[in-house]
């Protein structure tokens, strides 16, 4: 997840938050912190509704109810005079718990602390049970864990485009159509990139029956799907198992089966399901799995083949259970950024474990940044090669309407794509390399294999690769896939000339 304060600057977010009546009917002032406290004005994130503090014997306990995370327990609640202190954690393992205070003064409780990257400081007044009921956060049962059948999709890693890396939530129907047209005109569709995925920012409100509607930027989702299908491509969409998506839009919480049916009725072919606010709701690994399984089963019951992309940032060894919940790909990492450092960290160091990768289920080290301008062409070739050697999904993230020739050449190199899309579905594994060199091998269906040699340093690197030292039989010739030429292997050694942060990618028969 990217940081929220950035997103909170997006004006549309305010429209997505629960609107509470600012004028709260007051009950008699109190001189104790115990009781129900209703919060009148709240920032949209995390949408504070009320606090409830109770004493049982000597023990104080409490919760803060929020739009994003439901009931957040006040951990380790203690009193010091008129000030109560406690810890709040939103379920994000990286951030941990933050200290909050609740200070009683003149009958008002001032509640302040940090959640996610946001400081919150709100006033609450005493409330009634009826007010508490109106502000209660609904909870729903989760299904028992079971293994869902294979949906038969994504036999090779999904290829396509997503709106997020370039457009974030500033995406609309017109841009998606233009991108779809550009995918055809540029040859990207014919190179295999067939999924056109709308990421966060398309959602509007639910209607009276609870059916999720797109916002005004997407006037007719079915018509958009028809448009994309007519061009030989598929339309993808995005939601969350939590009440709010990462950019603050409506999630599928409490509407999982209904949303799956809506997506199917629109003609959606791919769903990215992003944990977001769900991290504060599903606080155990089992609950997260069950929440993902619930949508997996709902998609399978929808009657439409829908590729299922899990996005919970690789927590809890997701590869070990991603298939069982119906997933075809699972994010293994934090969000990519358009820098060499971010790409390299994700691609080399944090892309899960290869053991669960195979036909129908793929590690997803996040979408491509190629063409967005933050890396050199050599670095972008490394990005592409690193994803291809690991059989990662190839989901483009740039503005296809304004693509330069070099970007197009990187993305449409058929020999490189063939490594990624190989029918065997084997993952690439790092087999050697010292210092700045990193050497990866991926077995291919025809008995050949791909060998990627990366230079992780910012200086050029000249070296030789010894097949014997890697435990491999030396061939006489290999094909270097970027240059598209044969290279002779002399005395079992391959000459290497690698630009800064560059890559050579070989097919060895
Ligand atoms: C999270 C995901 C991103 C993107 C955004 C949308 O940060 O990891 O890939 O989907 O949410 O808000």
* 180-204 confidence digits (pLDDT tens): 999 999 999 999 999 999 999 999 9
Total residue length of the chain: 509
Please tell me the predicted confidence (pLDDT) of residue 31: 81
Q: Is residue 388 part of a domain?
A: yes
Give catalytic residues, as residue numbers: 274, 335
Q: For 147, phi and psi rounded to 5 degrees?
A: -90, 120
275 lines ligand 1 (CB under 6 A): no
Q: Is residue 153 part of a domain?
A: no
Judge if 37 and 113 occupy the same domain. Answer: yes
Residue 246 Cα to ligand 1 midpoint, Å, equals: 6
Per-residue CA distances from 155 to 187, 320, 349 (Å)? 22, 18, 25
Judge if 188 and 112 occupy the same domain. Answer: no
- Indicate which atom in ligand 1 lies nearest the CA of residue 2: 7
In the predicted model, what is the mean pLDDT of residues 374-384? 98
Q: Give me the CATH number covering residue 421.
A: 3.20.20.70
Contacts 24+ apart (CB under 8 A), 406-413: 406/377, 407/370, 407/371, 407/380, 408/186, 408/187, 408/188, 410/370, 410/377, 410/380, 410/381, 410/384, 411/188, 411/191, 411/193, 411/370, 411/371, 411/384, 412/187, 412/188, 412/191, 413/384, 413/481, 413/482
244 secondary structure, DSSP code: B
Judge if 11 and 88 occupy the same domain. Answer: yes
Residue 197 Cα to ligand 1 midpoint, Å, equals: 13
199 lines ligand 1 (CB under 6 A): yes
**What whole-number distance in Å separates Cα of residue 150 and Cα of residue 326?**
7
Residue 247 Cα to ligand 1 midpoint, Å, equals: 8
Among the three residues 425, 449, 465, which one is the final residue of a domain in this structure?
425
Protein residue with its CA nearest to atom 7 in ligand 1 = 1
Structure token pair of residue 494: 């391959």
pLDDT digits (tens, 9 = 90+) for 336-367: 999 999 999 999 988 888 999 999 999 999 99
Helix (H) or strand (E) run with residue 221 in it: helix 221-230
Q: In a 3-state reduction of DSSP, which class is residue 350?
A: coil
Among the three residues 102, 135, 168, which one is the final residue of a domain in this structure?
135
Judge if 417 and 485 occupy the same domain. Answer: no
pLDDT digits (tens, 9 = 90+) for 34-54: 999 999 999 999 999 999 999
Q: Is residue 144 part of a domain?
A: no
- Indicate which atom in ligand 1 lies nearest the CA of residue 311: 8
**What whole-number distance in Å separates Cα of residue 188 and Cα of residue 395?**
11
Among the three residues 425, 446, 481, which one is the final residue of a domain in this structure?
425
63 secondary structure, DSSP code: E
Q: Give me the CATH number covering residue 484.
A: 2.60.40.1180
Judge if 403 and 444 occupy the same domain. Answer: no
Contacts of 234 (CB under 8 A, 6+ apart): 160, 194, 195, 196, 228, 269, 270
Residue 20 Cα to ligand 1 midpoint, Å, equals: 27
Judge if 401 and 438 occupy the same domain. Answer: no
CA-nearest of 413, 409, 407, 508 to 452 is 508
Q: Is residue 148 part of a domain?
A: no
Protein residue with its CA nearest to atom 8 in ligand 1 = 1
Q: Give me the CATH number covering residue 14.
A: 2.40.128
Judge if 111 and 232 occupy the same domain. Answer: no
Please tell me the predicted confidence (pLDDT) of residue 28: 64
310 lines ligand 1 (CB under 6 A): no
Q: Is residue 124 part of a domain?
A: yes
Judge if 106 and 204 occupy the same domain. Answer: no
The boundaries of the domain holding residue 83 are: 6-135
Judge if 258 and 365 occupy the same domain. Answer: yes
In the predicted model, what is the mean pLDDT of residues 433-451? 97
Contact 239/275 with Cβ under 8 angstroms? no
Judge if 368 and 464 occupy the same domain. Answer: no
364 lines ligand 1 (CB under 6 A): no
Q: Is residue 238 part of a domain?
A: yes
pLDDT digits (tens, 9 = 90+) for 214-240: 999 999 999 999 999 999 999 999 999
Q: Is residue 17 part of a domain?
A: yes
Judge if 348 and 264 occupy the same domain. Answer: yes
Judge if 351 and 324 occupy the same domain. Answer: yes
Number of domains within the chain: 3
Q: Is residue 140 part of a domain?
A: no
In the predicted model, what is the mean pLDDT of residues 457-481? 97
124 lines ligand 1 (CB under 6 A): no
Contact 116/46 with Cβ under 8 angstroms? yes
98 lines ligand 1 (CB under 6 A): no
């Amino acid at each position: 997840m990217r940081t929220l304060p950035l997103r909170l600057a997006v004006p549309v977010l305010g429209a997505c938050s629960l609107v509470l009546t600012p004028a709260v009917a007051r009950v008699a002032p109190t001189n104790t912190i115990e009781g129900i406290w209703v919060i009148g004005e709240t920032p949209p994130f995390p949408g504070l509704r009320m606090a409830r503090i109770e004493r049982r014997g000597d023990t104080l306990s409490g919760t803060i109810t929020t739009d994003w995370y439901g009931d957040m327990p006040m951990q380790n609640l203690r009193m010091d005079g008129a000030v109560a202190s406690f810890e709040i954690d939103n379920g994000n393992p990286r951030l941990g718990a933050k200290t909050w205070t609740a200070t009683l003064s003149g009958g008002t409780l001032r509640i302040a602390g940090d959640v996610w990257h946001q400081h919150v400081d709100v006033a609450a007044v005493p409330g009634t049970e009826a007010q508490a009921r109106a502000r209660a956060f609904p909870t729903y049962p989760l299904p028992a864990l079971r293994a869902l059948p294979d949906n038969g999709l994504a036999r090779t890693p999904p290829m396509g485009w997503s709106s997020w890396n370039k457009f974030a939530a500033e995406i609309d129907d017109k841009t998606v159509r233009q991108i779809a047209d550009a995918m055809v005109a540029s040859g990207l569709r014919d190179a295999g990139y067939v999924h056109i995925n709308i990421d966060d920012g398309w959602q509007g409100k639910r209607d009276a029956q609870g059916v999720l509607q797109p916002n005004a930027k997407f006037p007719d989702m079915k018509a958009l799907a028809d448009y994309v299908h007519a061009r030989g491509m598929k339309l993808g969409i995005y939601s969350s198992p939590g009440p709010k998506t990462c950019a603050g839009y409506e999630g599928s919480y409490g509407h999982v089966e209904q949303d799956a049916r809506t997506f199917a009725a629109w003609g959606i072919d791919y769903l990215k399901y992003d944990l977001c606010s769900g991290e504060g709701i599903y606080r155990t690994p089992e609950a997260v799995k069950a929440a993902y399984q619930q949508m997996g089963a709902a998609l399978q019951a929808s009657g439409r083949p829908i590729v299922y992309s899990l996005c919970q940032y690789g927590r809890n060894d997701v590869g070990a259970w991603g298939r069982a919940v119906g997933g075809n790909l699972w994010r293994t990492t934090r969000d990519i950024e358009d820098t060499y450092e971010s790409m390299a960290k994700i691609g080399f160091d944090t892309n899960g474990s290869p053991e669960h990768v195979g036909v129908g289920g793929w590690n997803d080290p996040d979408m491509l940044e190629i063409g967005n301008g933050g890396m050199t062409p050599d670095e972008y070739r490394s990005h592409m090669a690193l994803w291809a050697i690991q059989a990662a999904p190839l989901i483009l993230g740039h503005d296809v309407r304004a693509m330069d020739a070099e970007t197009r050449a990187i993305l449409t190199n058929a020999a490189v794509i063939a490594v990624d899309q190989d029918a065997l579905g084997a993952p690439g594994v790092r087999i050697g390399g010292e210092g700045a060199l990193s050497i990866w091998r991926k077995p291919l269906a025809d008995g050949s294999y791909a060998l990627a040699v990366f230079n992780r340093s910012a200086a050029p690197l000249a070296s030789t690769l010894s097949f014997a030292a890697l435990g491999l039989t030396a061939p006489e010739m290999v094909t270097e896939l970027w240059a598209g030429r044969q290279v002779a292997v002399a005395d079992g050694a391959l000459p290497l000339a690698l630009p800064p942060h560059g890559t050579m990618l070989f097919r060895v028969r």
